[in-house]
Structure 1
């Protein structure tokens, strides 16, 4: 899952888990780092009490009010087929419901339970090849019509369309293993079948998935937006981004791109059917267009108009000193997240391995962090996966100082001065960070041309195979805590398409692709160590990225926001059980 700008081992289903939506992040710029990053833990629960609605009431919570989320830039996508960024997934999760979801209360306890489904799914033959989900009775759309299993199947079917390809592809790949996920089935449009092979809906409340190979991670994959229902009659294809049809507690009241998204209550949402969401606020408004410093200044000031507000935008360095004491400090939500930020090297354009190695010796990770908040933003990285991922083990292929090694850069470049295009998000803080990288790389002997991209289209732009950029920062966190949700999405070259790519280095090495297949087929107990070994092999042999930093977040809320805590599943303030103090 991409960090805000865009998890467990297969086997025993009650094993430890690390969650996240593999999604990108582009508005980060500071993060609390008082706590050491650790593998996130939790479990899959089939306990009836955990899976039944309503969601547990929050002590002292009050119903009513309008919650405001202040953001720098608009979302790229809210369509569940295209939603792969954490801030979008948290917002989308108020509008539509997936088969499964994460239940958390701020204590660190994280449970995967049924959301639309009555439980996390039945492993029919106890071999992880056939999974069956039963939908809850009484779940209705915003027009009062019932949610059906055929709507879930159709939602998955449309995600095979080449024009709706930005979201997760786990289930799609599992249904059609080998090669690109949509090579054999391109969705229901233009005469296509209404559902892919391997999905059956024997009645309106049952959906069954049959895979050729075992996929014991299916309960986690079913928690992604991929499994959200979409009625065929309400499908507006590319325009579905603007108004997804609600199966959750809120529906879209209005959405003016780059200005604001307003959500109001879905009058047909029944809290008795929902174990995850309390839906305390009467309305939720997400505003776009303020600068990062403006947002932080307003939240620090806590004027009456902003007291029921929060932001997923991290506090920038200039404002950080004013958030460390008094009542403001009490309103800081901070901690390490599951994301690793890397400087992607477009290997289609930067084909010389020595140049890619030189970049790994050249980048001043300390300067890149200081530009967005220093230690509050994270800590220097040397690996592709985050320390929160199961099986993580520290290594450092290059052993370069965090400020870089000019002598090694000179040796590798051999007198050359490569000219490279550095794309960056066009916000104040990300521009400052890109300028720090440009200055650093220029000093190391490179010629760098900076190219800004609007935040609302950043991942779409760099996700195009033929993009005209050599370097760009991106953040990724595991969809659940195993390397299978990091290494294959980011480094399996067989999945590269014309657009919507997650493999942003565009690495396509047969040896890496073959090793991905080998690790996937190992016994569950051996996979964590094998993914970590492949992590190191990719860096040692191909250097397709420069690991820059392990992410942390440092967010602020207004004084009238209650039950605000950092989501272990998404790495930002959660909204499922938040409330506005009356």
Structure 2
């Protein structure tokens, strides 16, 4: 009898192993605030909802485009693109994906009532969707729109049967129907998003029976949950815990390049900038001062020591691996003497004082290093870390003369940052929307518009690289370093650290 019990216990343990491995719990720093794929555009939402919904065009972990729900696309003429859908794709409710669903999804994006941050930026220039047959449709644009496939990586497709539903119906789960690898089981605000495998996913076998995104916003608590076995995977590992996790054989780190860059933004427009003490002047209007501020930085030291190797030094404000960036640009070395000489030439031999306003998200240590470097050349710098709840509203009001923040080129193209931050405000609808420093000149504006309308990839890349080079040469936006995507999980898992820092449960698998 005792032997029989032992055999039964052993068999139960053997069977329990694979069964337990079918359930993946992911501790995430920022939970989704909605199940509506067209409501409140931000990383927390898109990263979570990509587990449920698919897009026409997908991107891999290094932001390279690949077919998604659309298996192919082509340019018909300067204002027309034709897309072919994959045959046999079905939504979670069993209905087949057709061109009519695409048209209904596009129509819904700008028409969700009360949307605080809609996805409409990614349909800018789109004038209509015309189904040709169930698997073929054409997108009409107001002019040449070469970045359309890139933009479509952010537009989730829903069945036309729910396209008329509002945000509340999606949040209850009633309308949360996609074609993605998982379907919704349960969710409420700040509670785990529990999902079950979509057995019929077009992308192949999904490795988990269930996957849960568990909100754990406090860094130390997220790490503790992993170490205690409460979750099997976590995102955004705090730098101070990387060595501890890496040294524990029970766990593994998954790190890689990120699209998020730590950049310094300088007010180059106003005669007197907030937080700058220079006798009523704004020194940053002078390119020599901006170049001095860039030359003073020890980017390599910040990446290796301050960020403990989980950053890559650069002086361009975008990752070198995205479309339109400068791929092989050498990082300039710190040169304090040259920086002081430039300040002297600009009429500031004694320097000046300023407040460096800093986002609390991942940058305070970088801000301290920047402040120390600037103080060494005579720019007496104090750091003011602004609470997250007020950092962006104050930035939007242009309360900062100089600020450091993290920015991600979410489309994988430099046109995103150039169009939103380098282009003048208010001259072209939809451009200059994130320009909070007064940047912009007719010549650069014209080049940005030209690049956005250039269908030839090689020529568009050349134009964009020229604009990035201009931004660096004039120190209009000062790149400090590229952050790295750092996640962790149990040693029995394999995973890719995505450059967009999204966490997709289907890309995490048992070894």
Instruction: Say whether residues 1:311 and 2:311 are aligned partners.
Output: no
Please report the RMSD computed on the Cα atoms of aligned residues, expressed in angstroms.
4.3
Contact between 1:335 and 1:554, CA under 8 Å: does it hold in 2?
yes
The equivalent of 2:7 in structure 1 is none
1:57-72 equivalent positions in 2, closer than 5 A:
65-72=22-29
Query: CA offsets, 1:290-337, max 9 Å, x none?
Result: 22x4434554xx33334x2x2221341x33333445625x61112223
The equivalent of 1:6 in structure 2 is none
The equivalent of 1:200 in structure 2 is 130
User: What's the TM-score once normalised by structure 1's chain length?
Assistant: 0.67
1:50-199 equivalent positions in 2, closer than 5 A:
65-74=22-31, 79-81=36-38, 86=43, 88-102=45-59, 112-115=66-69, 117=70, 119-121=71-73, 123=75, 125=76, 129-134=80-85, 139-140=90-91, 148-158=101-111, 163-165=115-117, 167=119, 169-172=121-124, 174-175=125-126, 197-199=127-129
Instruction: Say whether residues 1:483 and 2:414 are aligned partners.
Output: yes
Contact between 1:343 and 1:472, CA under 8 Å: does it hold in 2?
yes
Instruction: Say whether residues 1:448 and 2:382 are aligned partners.
Output: yes
Instruction: Say whether residues 1:474 and 2:406 are aligned partners.
Output: yes
Instruction: Say whether residues 1:555 and 2:504 are aligned partners.
Output: no
Q: 1:419 is paired with a residue of what secondary structure?
A: strand
Instruction: Say whether residues 1:423 and 2:358 are aligned partners.
Output: yes
Gaps of 5+ in 1: 1-59, 176-196
Query: CA offsets, 1:419-474, max 9 Å, x none?
Result: 3350312x6x54344344444445542343514233xx588546635455631311
Query: CA offsets, 1:79-122, max 9 Å, x none?
Result: 54466655543311012222232467xxx89771232x4x2335
Instruction: Say whether residues 1:528 and 2:482 are aligned partners.
Output: no
Taking structure 1 as reference, are residues 459 and 277 closer, same or farther at Cα in structure 2, changes over 3 Å only?
farther
The equivalent of 2:202 in structure 1 is 274
Distance 2:213 2:138 in 1: 37
Distance 2:63 2:43 in 1: 19
Q: 1:472 is paired with a residue of what secondary structure?
A: strand
The equivalent of 2:423 in structure 1 is 492
The equivalent of 2:140 in structure 1 is 210
User: What's the TM-score once normalised by structure 2's chain length?
Assistant: 0.75
Give the CA deviation at 1:394: 4.4
* Structure possessing the higher relative contact order (Cα contacts under 8 Å, 6 or more residues apart): 1
Contact between 1:66 and 1:282, CA under 8 Å: does it hold in 2?
yes
Taking structure 1 as reference, are residues 558 and 411 closer, same or farther at Cα in structure 2, changes over 3 Å only?
farther
The equivalent of 1:289 in structure 2 is 217
Contact between 2:451 and 2:460, CA under 8 Å: does it hold in 1?
yes
Q: 1:278 is paired with a residue of what secondary structure?
A: coil
1:372-451 equivalent positions in 2, closer than 5 A:
373-375=307-309, 377-390=310-323, 392-395=326-329, 400-401=334-335, 405-406=339-340, 408-409=342-343, 412=346, 414=348, 415=350, 417-425=352-360, 430-443=363-376, 444-451=378-385
Taking structure 1 as reference, are residues 474 and 505 closer, same or farther at Cα in structure 2, changes over 3 Å only?
farther
Taking structure 1 as reference, are residues 459 and 516 closer, same or farther at Cα in structure 2, changes over 3 Å only?
farther
The equivalent of 2:186 in structure 1 is 253
More helix by share: 2
Taking structure 1 as reference, are residues 294 and 232 closer, same or farther at Cα in structure 2, changes over 3 Å only?
closer
Give the CA deviation at 1:416: 5.2
Give the CA deviation at 1:579: 4.2
Give the CA deviation at 1:528: 1.8
Taking structure 1 as reference, are residues 498 and 338 closer, same or farther at Cα in structure 2, changes over 3 Å only?
closer
Distance 2:222 2:479 in 1: 29
Distance 2:507 2:329 in 1: 39
Moved more, 61-70 or 485-494: 61-70
Query: CA offsets, 1:202-237, max 9 Å, x none?
Result: 677654311243445433332223656683432228
Give the CA deviation at 1:201: 4.4
Distance 2:63 2:89 in 1: 28
Which entry has the higher C-alpha Rg, 1 or 2? Answer: 2
Distance 2:151 2:111 in 1: 17
Taking structure 1 as reference, are residues 505 and 78 closer, same or farther at Cα in structure 2, changes over 3 Å only?
farther
Taking structure 1 as reference, are residues 277 and 548 closer, same or farther at Cα in structure 2, changes over 3 Å only?
farther
Give the CA deviation at 1:263: 2.3
Give the paired residue count: 470
Gaps of 5+ in 2: 1-16, 274-281
Q: 1:534 is paired with a residue of what secondary structure?
A: helix
